[in-house]
Amino acid sequence: MLGYSALDILNLALSLALVIFSAMVHEVAHGWVAYRLGDATAKRAGRLTLNPARHLDPFGSVVLPLLMAVAGWPVFAYAKPVPYNPNNLRNPRTDEVLVALAGPASNLLQALAGAAVYQLVLSRLLADGGSLVVGGASFWVLRALALYVYVNLVLMFFNLIPLPPLDGSKLVMPLLHGSARERYYHIQSYSLPILVAVLYLVPMVVHFDPLSLYLDATAGNLLELLLA
């Protein structure tokens, strides 16, 4: 790749792989919680699996994160949304919120697990008198763990933005009734491309990037805390 060193390319490939895996876990978490709360739609569709073929979206899982990584933006990706029928939930109004929060919660758990392993590996390395050599085995293990933590923190905080179709918007679901609720379901089916354009392309025009400021203040600061 023109202008990229071998280290840059390896970093990019590693980031994409971790984003795709973390996004799949995020979607499976939605389906699993929905299943536990009474809706088997995702299970019947074969989506309660980590098989990439069942989840990858050509644009959202590969092209979009690749473009963002090359552009130097916070890497975001999405897998095919896991289907579920809110009418099958035992308590639809409250259970929809739990289903929505399952995705960000899975990212938080992944970030905490990654940080714990990072600290364990780092402490063992220091105890053995080792040192980090760029390109060495220890370097790549710690690099992968740090990226895994960061990717999941970004996915968590991004999805908590209260705009459809992100998970944070589901927090308003208990407030919607009748036709307003139906319109919401209709809007969320095609609003993700619009949202991505607004959050990533508009800042290029107005030269103000609130998304990066938000992610730096949330995911960035929490990353420093977890890996300190």
224 is catalytic: no
> Residue 194: what residue type?
I
- SS3 for 65-128 is HHHHHHHCCCCCCCCCCCCCCHHHCCCHHHHHHHHHHHHHHHHHHHHHHHHHHHHHHHHHHHHC
C-beta separation of 153 from 218 below 8 A: yes
Residue corresponding to tokens 């008198």: 129
Q: Which residues contact 198 (CB under 8 A, 6 or more apart)?
A: none
C-beta separation of 142 from 122 below 8 A: yes
Query: CA 220 to CA 222: how far, in whole Å?
Result: 6
CA–CA distances in Å: residue 137 to residues 117, 123, 132, 134? 15, 15, 9, 9
Query: CA 8 to CA 165: how far, in whole Å?
Result: 32
| Active site residues per annotation | 27
